[in-house]
């Protein structure tokens, strides 16, 4: 239910709208009254007598039952036979409650009232959102009308339900801080029932927050005077609201943390910052770490009289993107799929009198400055208070430097915190003076020392600290931040006992977010107790997302690692970490046949699953160890020694398997080439040999990397004593790509499967998906029951599914998903969990593609939003969300989502260079989506900029003589999208439209990747036909004489022309137009198209 008027969502039976409808078709006559009686009945069914009395209250027919049956027949003719159902001696509506607007309203209004009585305000808002509302609900009073027609009676009852729902929604909005939205509903409810003190109390609070306390007090006084005339007084709820209004000074407070009672010695600083905020729009509190910048900012926030104060903690934020997300969360506006985050932030902060507090900015100083500068321009009355170890260097900035506490304030702070920790302790002044002299007035250090008094006296703490460490004061030319922060960390170190220091130093070797399992590897079985102690010392932070993970601040880690280096324990600690990583990874094996590692029927399957989950849980720790080993290998002048080579291969093979089942495609593409170089070198032992072959096999069959080079294959040994089944893997790896068709018939199932997958991938990349499908389906038929491992059979099925998707055969994909799902029981649960969810969603997506109805798209969108996907899959399904938004008629939201996906796809440039398949495909999705934007949205979202990125990239992919990737169907998908975008361009003239149509027709003739419906041949052809069917038909006729090779070359020529025209329109020379010779596609196609590639009408 919206606050600004009645809104009726789609119901099958709508009786509250101005004109009753069934599935959007108008209803009339006596049948409407029958449906109204049945819809409004409180019982499961309504008897014949009651129906007759309701339909003919004054003048019943001569044969009432016969007349009723006639009305029932007419109603069934309108709504269908199964809707009005005979039950006993009466009838009922055989529809779900949610299918009838009146019933939906009544049901949700009743449940909302129960939730309101229980103060479950979020549930109230959920229940009252988008409720159907009869027009009569806008009246100030709704009274029953005697002998009214059934529809009128139903609407009167609905109006009463609607008013109750409006009242409860108003209370819920106010209770959850949405005072501005609550205000009109509260005023309306107060007018309707001036004695409703719950409403009046909420109205007072809302007016106080959004208008002024004085206006809220007037409401109270008016009500109090009315009650006094009746000899009564306001009730408890209203009196409490009166007191709250009297005390309230600020309407919005988000993210604020109470100022500690022990906040001492900072009154002058509070006054100074408040004064600075009155005259400066940006104030930055600077000072060393631990000096109390955050606490000062909290105190300023607590005393600020500004109407809106938002506090954002940035200590754990890592990037500019996360900065925006943190701000949106803090202001209560999580990033929606249809919103520009900067625009949302600007809108929330625009109201006059807003104060934004950004805490701990030093590690994001540049990103914060880039954000705050435009915010100050776009929000004229915004004030920003930042805390940072360094200034933001903006022209509007006023810096308030915070110094350490003086002696009196430091002593007061220590006493307050120590007595809170152990109230009965006696603090000796001399011991305290000695201790405080060593912590130099840093509040953080003081609090940590005070916390230690739970078990130690102040004298014992002081005695345990060595003499003042030289770094506490540091060199005069050393940065203050480093000198003082190091002092705090060193002080914390010196408070630890020997075992705690040993543990902290070793834990500093672990990647951030490590688990107990990794900690035990370097600390030992005492890890649980030691972790607890270090958390108590605030040297570790615990976060729990299903599994407790431990985080160490980088500054703490840096200091502690220097301690570890000085201790002489670093070599042993690193060896323990490597041994643990090798122990975990060495248990992950490459399955060569049924019953190997990963098969659910293996006798040790449960243990295998536990091992793999350990690898998943501490992937970051294991990957960090791999990075360190690879760095050693990169620095080896005389080649990698066998032990190092085997260690890299053992860890690399396990991680490659992990990434293959968690969609870690970026990792495979990034680490694969480095691992291949190492794996091709001689192994030191049998297990290292197996791991090296596993690395090469996983990379070669990944579909992300090119075939093994001749140099790599020639460096491999022809055999290795005792390698057993791995000899078959070696035989495949030694074979050049030209032997893959022969190896598909190999006696070894694993070899046949590997060769078949590689050949199918090559065929797909060449633009021959039908041939690739034939290869995979023949393999599936042949290898069924031939002893192939479960994961290998499963990957064959998903490969088949992938090809079917690319061909746009969505009906067959539904069946393929079912086949793949059936195989998940054959593999480890840790491998299959994500696949199960993904396959079910893909099944549903294909049903939506086959029948793109809005309700199905909405359901699938809801399913996607509720699912958290790993790795690259997250971005793939996010792009699908954009497609579904377009199906629902929301092109702007769809375009925004596609742009998020495009930013993600751009990350692949660091791994694969420009033009990865993901980048090309999402660019195509963006272009097709942008065709549906209105002119204003297209300008705002820079649709022209997306096209300007796509056209030169398409040209380069089609004309590069040595491309990094060659995926013709995906390139053609982008070509088709560019063609459609060119055709539909607002400024496209006849020549431009013809050029775009010819590129689109050429791409479809070659064959585009149709994995998503937006880039399917059918959709693209239909959409282009709606732009100008004649132009498309003419283009198809012009290219008809061209064979496939000439079509590809012709597409390159068209892309060059488009890129050249774009460059000229932007007044920039296009270097590619300096030569009339087109750079041909590499390989066999180059020789075949050397004779020419132009079409009868347009050449390259």
pLDDT of 260 reads: 74
Query: Longest Cα pair distance anywhere in the chain, in angstroms?
Result: 110
- Rounded average pLDDT over 1047-1076: 68
Long-range Cβ contacts of 854-862 (<8 Å, 24+ apart):
854/887, 854/888, 854/889, 857/884, 857/887, 857/888, 858/884, 858/888, 860/884, 861/885, 861/888
Domain 253-401 has CATH 3.60.15.10: no
**Among the residues of 176-319, which ranges form H helices?**
179-192, 197-210, 213-229, 236-247, 267-279, 293-303
Among the residue ranges 446-455, 532-541, 959-968, 1066-1075, the one predicted with the least confidence is 1066-1075
**CATH no. for 1-193:** 1.10.10.10
- Whether the pLDDT of residue 904 is over 70: the answer is yes
- Whether the pLDDT of residue 308 is over 50: the answer is yes
- Rounded average pLDDT over 99-121: 89
- Whether the pLDDT of residue 790 is over 70: the answer is yes
Using a 10 angstrom Cβ sphere, with 0-12 exposed, 13-18 middle and 19 or more buried, the burial of residue 558 is middle
Of 573, 576, 575, 602, residue with least CA distance to 589: 602
pLDDT of 140 reads: 44
- Rounded average pLDDT over 549-565: 79
Report the sign of the C-alpha dihedral through residues 456, 459, 465, 471, in that order. Answer: positive
State how far the Cα of 728 lies from the Cα of 750, in Å rounded to an integer: 8
- Which sequence spans correspond to the domains of the chain? 1-193, 200-248, 253-401, 407-494, 496-568, 570-734, 743-844, 852-1088
pLDDT band, very low/low/confident/very high, at 1098 (cuts 50, 70, 90): very low
- Whether the pLDDT of residue 289 is over 80: the answer is no
Domains 1-193 and 743-844 share a fold: no
pLDDT in tens, 57-85: 888 888 889 888 898 988 888 887 778 88
Share of the chain above pLDDT 70, in %: 86
What are the Cα distances from residue 579, in Å, to 200, 575, 647, 679, 680?
Answer: 69, 6, 9, 20, 23
DSSP 837-905: HHHHHHHHHHHHHHS--HHHHHHHHHHHHT-PPPHHHHHHHHHHHHHHHHHTT-HHHHHHHHHHHHHHH
pLDDT of 968 reads: 93
**CATH no. for 743-844:** 1.25.40.10
**Cβ neighbour number for residue 987 with a 10 Å cutoff:** 7
Using a 10 angstrom Cβ sphere, with 0-12 exposed, 13-18 middle and 19 or more buried, the burial of residue 1083 is exposed
- Rounded average pLDDT over 592-598: 87
Among the residue ranges 25-34, 354-363, 482-491, 1039-1048, the one predicted with the least confidence is 482-491
pLDDT in tens, 805-833: 999 999 999 999 998 998 888 888 888 87
pLDDT of 705 reads: 87
State how far the Cα of 167 lies from the Cα of 173, in Å rounded to an integer: 10
- Whether the pLDDT of residue 623 is over 50: the answer is yes
pLDDT of 477 reads: 33
Among the residue ranges 174-183, 656-665, 754-763, the one predicted with the least confidence is 174-183
pLDDT band, very low/low/confident/very high, at 183 (cuts 50, 70, 90): very high
Instruction: Sort strands 354-359 and 383-388 into parallel, antiparallel or unpaired.
Output: parallel
- Whether the pLDDT of residue 391 is over 80: the answer is no
Chain-wide mean pLDDT for the chain?
Answer: 83
pLDDT band, very low/low/confident/very high, at 502 (cuts 50, 70, 90): very high
Residue 486 near residue 471, CB atoms below 8 Å: yes
- Whether the pLDDT of residue 534 is over 90: the answer is no
Share of the chain above pLDDT 90, in %: 40
Among the residue ranges 258-272, 596-610, 888-902, the one predicted with the least confidence is 258-272
pLDDT of 685 reads: 93
Instruction: Sort strands 548-551 and 541-544 into parallel, antiparallel or unpaired.
Output: antiparallel
- Whether the pLDDT of residue 113 is over 90: the answer is yes
pLDDT in tens, 838-859: 888 888 888 888 888 777 777 7
pLDDT of 621 reads: 95
Of 1035 and 275, the one with more pLDDT: 1035
pLDDT of 392 reads: 86
- Per-position b or e across 794-827, b if 16+ CB within 10 A of its CB: bbbbbbbbbbbbbbbbbebbbebbebbbebbebb
pLDDT in tens, 700-720: 999 888 899 999 999 999 989
Residues 6+ apart with CB under 8 A from 813: 801, 804, 805, 842, 843, 846
**Cβ neighbour number for residue 91 with a 10 Å cutoff:** 22
Domain 496-568 has CATH 1.10.10.10: yes
Instruction: Report if pTM > 0.85.
Output: no
């Amino acid at each position: 239910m919206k606050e600004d008027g009645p809104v009726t969502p789609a119901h099958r039976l709508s009786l509250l709208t101005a004109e009753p409808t069934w599935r959007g078709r108008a209803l009339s006559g006596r049948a409407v009254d029958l449906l109204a009686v049945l819809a409004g009945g409180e019982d499961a069914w309504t008897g014949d007598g009651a129906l007759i009395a309701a339909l003919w209250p004054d003048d019943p027919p001569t044969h009432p039952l016969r007349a009723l049956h006639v009305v029932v027949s007419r109603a069934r003719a309108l709504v269908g036979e199964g809707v009005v159902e005979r039950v006993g001696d009466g009838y009922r509506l055989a529809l779900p409650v949610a299918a009838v607007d009146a019933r939906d309203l009544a049901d949700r209004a009743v449940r909302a009232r129960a939730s309101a009585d229980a103060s479950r305000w979020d549930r109230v808002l959920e229940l009252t959102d988008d409720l159907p509302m009869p027009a009569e609900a806008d009246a100030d009073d709704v009274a029953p009308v005697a002998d009214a027609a059934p529809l009128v009676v139903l609407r009167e009852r609905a109006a009463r339900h609607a008013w109750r729902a409006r009242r409860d929604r108003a209370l819920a909005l106010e209770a959850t801080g949405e005072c501005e939205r609550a205000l009109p509903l509260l005023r309306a409810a107060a007018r309707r029932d001036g004695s409703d003190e719950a409403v009046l109390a909420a109205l007072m609070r809302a007016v106080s927050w959004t208008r002024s306390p004085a206006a809220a007090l007037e409401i109270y006084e008016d009500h109090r005077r009315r009650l006094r005339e009746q000899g009564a007084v306001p009730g408890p709820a209203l009196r409490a609201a009166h007191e709250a209004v009297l005390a309230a000074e600020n309407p919005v407070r988000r993210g604020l943390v109470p100022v500690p009672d022990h906040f001492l010695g900072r009154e002058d600083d509070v006054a100074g910052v408040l004064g600075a905020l009155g005259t400066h729009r940006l104030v930055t509190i600077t000072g060393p770490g631990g000096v109390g910048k955050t606490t000062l900012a909290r105190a300023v926030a607590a005393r600020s009289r500004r109407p809106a104060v938002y506090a954002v903690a940035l200590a754990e934020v890592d990037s500019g993107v996360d900065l925006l997300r943190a701000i949106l969360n803090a202001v209560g506006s999580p990033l929606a799929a249809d919103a520009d985050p900067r625009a949302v932030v600007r809108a929330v902060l625009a109201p006059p009198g807003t104060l934004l507090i950004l805490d701990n900015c030093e590690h994001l100083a540049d990103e914060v400055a880039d954000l705050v500068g435009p915010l100050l321009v776009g929000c004229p009355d915004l004030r920003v208070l930042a805390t940072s170890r360094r200034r933001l260097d903006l022209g509007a900035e006023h810096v308030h430097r915070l110094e350490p506490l003086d002696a009196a304030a430091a002593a007061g702070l220590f006493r307050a915190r120590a007595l809170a920790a152990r109230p009965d302790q006696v603090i000796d002044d001399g011991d305290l003076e000695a201790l405080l002299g060593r912590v130099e007035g840093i509040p953080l250090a003081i609090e940590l020392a005070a916390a230690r008094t739970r078990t130690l006296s102040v004298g014992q703490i002081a005695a345990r600290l060595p003499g003042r460490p030289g770094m506490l004061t540091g060199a005069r030319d050393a940065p203050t931040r480093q000198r003082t922060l190091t002092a705090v960390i060193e002080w914390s170190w010196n408070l630890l006992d020997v075992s705690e220091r040993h543990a902290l130093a070793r834990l500093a070797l672990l990647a951030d977010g490590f688990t107990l399992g990794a900690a035990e590897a370097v600390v030992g079985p005492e890890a649980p107790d030691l972790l607890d102690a270090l958390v108590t010392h605030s040297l570790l932070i615990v976060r729990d997302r299903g599994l407790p993970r431990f985080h160490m601040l980088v500054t703490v880690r840096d200091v502690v690692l220097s301690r570890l280096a000085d201790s002489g324990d670093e070599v042993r600690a690193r060896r323990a970490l490597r041994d643990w990583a090798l122990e975990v990874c060495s248990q992950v094996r490459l399955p060569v046949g049924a019953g190997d590692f990963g098969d659910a029927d293996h006798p040790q399957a449960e243990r295998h699953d536990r091992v793999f989950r350990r690898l998943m849980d501490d992937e970051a720790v294991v990957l960090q160890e791999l990075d360190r080993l690879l760095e050693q290998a990169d620095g080896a002048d005389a080649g990698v020694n066998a032990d190092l080579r085997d260690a890299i291969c053992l860890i690399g093979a396990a991680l490659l398997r992990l990434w293959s089942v968690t969609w870690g495609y970026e990792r495979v593409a990034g680490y694969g080439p480095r691992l291949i170089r190492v794996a091709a070198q001689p192994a030191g032992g049998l297990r290292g040999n197996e791991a090296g072959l596993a690395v090469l096999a996983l990379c070669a069959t990944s579909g992300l990397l090119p075939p093994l080079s001749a140099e790599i294959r020639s460096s491999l040994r022809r055999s290795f004593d005792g390698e057993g089944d791995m000899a078959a893997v070696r035989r495949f790896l030694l074979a050049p790509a030209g032997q893959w068709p022969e190896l598909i018939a190999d006696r070894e199932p694993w070899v046949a499967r590997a060769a078949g997958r590689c050949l199918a991938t090559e065929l797909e990349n060449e633009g021959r998906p039908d041939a690739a499908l034939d290869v995979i389906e023949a393999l599936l038929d042949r290898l069924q029951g031939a002893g192939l491992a479960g994961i290998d059979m499963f990957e064959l099925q998903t490969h088949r599914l992938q090809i079917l998707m690319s061909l746009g055969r969505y009906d067959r994909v539904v069946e393929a998903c079912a086949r793949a799902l059936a195989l998940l029981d054959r593999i480890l649960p840790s491998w299959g969990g994500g696949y199960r969810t993904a396959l079910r969603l893909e099944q549903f997506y294909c049903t939506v593609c086959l029948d793109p109805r809005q309700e199905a798209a909405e359901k699938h969108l809801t399913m996607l939003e509720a699912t958290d996907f790993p790795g690259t899959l997250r971005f793939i399904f996010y792009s699908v969300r954009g497609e579904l938004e377009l199906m629902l008629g929301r092109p702007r939201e769809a375009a925004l989502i596609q742009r998020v996906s495009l930013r993600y796809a751009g990350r692949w440039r660091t791994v694969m260079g420009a033009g990865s398949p993901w980048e090309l495909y999402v660019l195509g999705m963006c272009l097709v989506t942008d065709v549906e934007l209105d002119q204003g949205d297209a300008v705002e979202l820079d649709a022209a900029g997306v096209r300007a990125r796509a056209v030169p990239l398409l040209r380069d992919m089609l004309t590069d003589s040595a491309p990094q990737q060659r995926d013709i169907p995906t390139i053609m998908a982008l070509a088709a999208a560019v063609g459609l975008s060119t055709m539909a361009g607002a400024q496209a003239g006849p020549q431009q439209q013809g050029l775009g149509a010819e590129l689109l027709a050429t791409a479809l003739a070659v064959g585009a990747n149709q994995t998503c419906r937006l880039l399917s041949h059918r959709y693209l052809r239909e959409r282009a036909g709606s732009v100008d069917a004649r132009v498309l038909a003419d283009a198809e006729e012009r290219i008809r004489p061209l064979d496939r090779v000439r079509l590809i070359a012709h597409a390159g020529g068209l892309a060059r022309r488009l890129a050249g025209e774009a460059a000229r329109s932007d007044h920039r020379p296009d270097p590619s137009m300096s030569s009339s010779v087109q750079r041909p596609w590499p390989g066999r196609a180059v020789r075949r198209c050397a004779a020419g590639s132009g079409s009868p009408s347009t050449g390259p």
